[in-house]
Amino acid sequence: MKFDPATLTYNDAGLIPAIAQDAKSGEVLMMAWMNAESIQQTLETRQVTYWSRSRQEFWVKGATSGHTQALVDFKIDCDRDCILVEVNQEGPACHTGRRSCFYTAIESGEEVEILKPMI
């Protein structure tokens, strides 16, 4: 069946959550948002492109920082309301310079920093 981004379920702002996972290590890198157009752009360019809620514009991941996400696999979930992109991540995925945005673990009720910046 041909894929049509319009068949996905978006929130009131026209957005859908997209999880980025490192295609090699399996590490979950980040979660951000896409709209129908950024999905189309991601599939066409093979460069992961989100919608920036703060800037209200397309966000080609790494366009400024060089920390790009080359698309390896694009998956949707059973409810068609979440996306999983498997990527080749260039450098850190997180704006803090860490490999993943999920660098804080909760252990015995305490916040613990589990990843240091790469750069």
In the shown chain, the binding pattern of residues 70 to 109 toward its own copies, with x for contact by CB under 8 A and - for none, equals ---xxxxxxx--x-x---------xxx-x--xxxxxx--x
CB 34 within 8 A of CB 83: yes
Nearest approach in angstroms of CB 103 to its own copies is: 7
The one-letter amino acid code at 13 reads A
Interface size with its own copies, residues (CB under 8 A): 36
CB 78 within 8 A of CB 9: no
Q: Does 55 bind its own copies (CB under 8 A)?
A: no
Q: Which is nearer to its own copies, 105 or 118 (CB)?
A: 105
* Cβ count near 16 (within 10 Å): 23
Nearest approach in angstroms of CB 58 to its own copies is: 19
Q: Which is nearer to its own copies, 90 or 97 (CB)?
A: 97
Exposed e or buried b per residue across 66-90, where buried means at least 16 C-beta atoms within 10 angstroms of its C-beta: ebbbebeebebeeeeebbebbbebe
Dig out the tokens for 71 from the structure.
């698309």
- Chain residues binding its own copies by CB under 8 A are 1-3, 17, 19, 21, 25-28, 30-31, 43, 73-79, 82, 84, 94-96, 98, 101-106, 109-111, 114
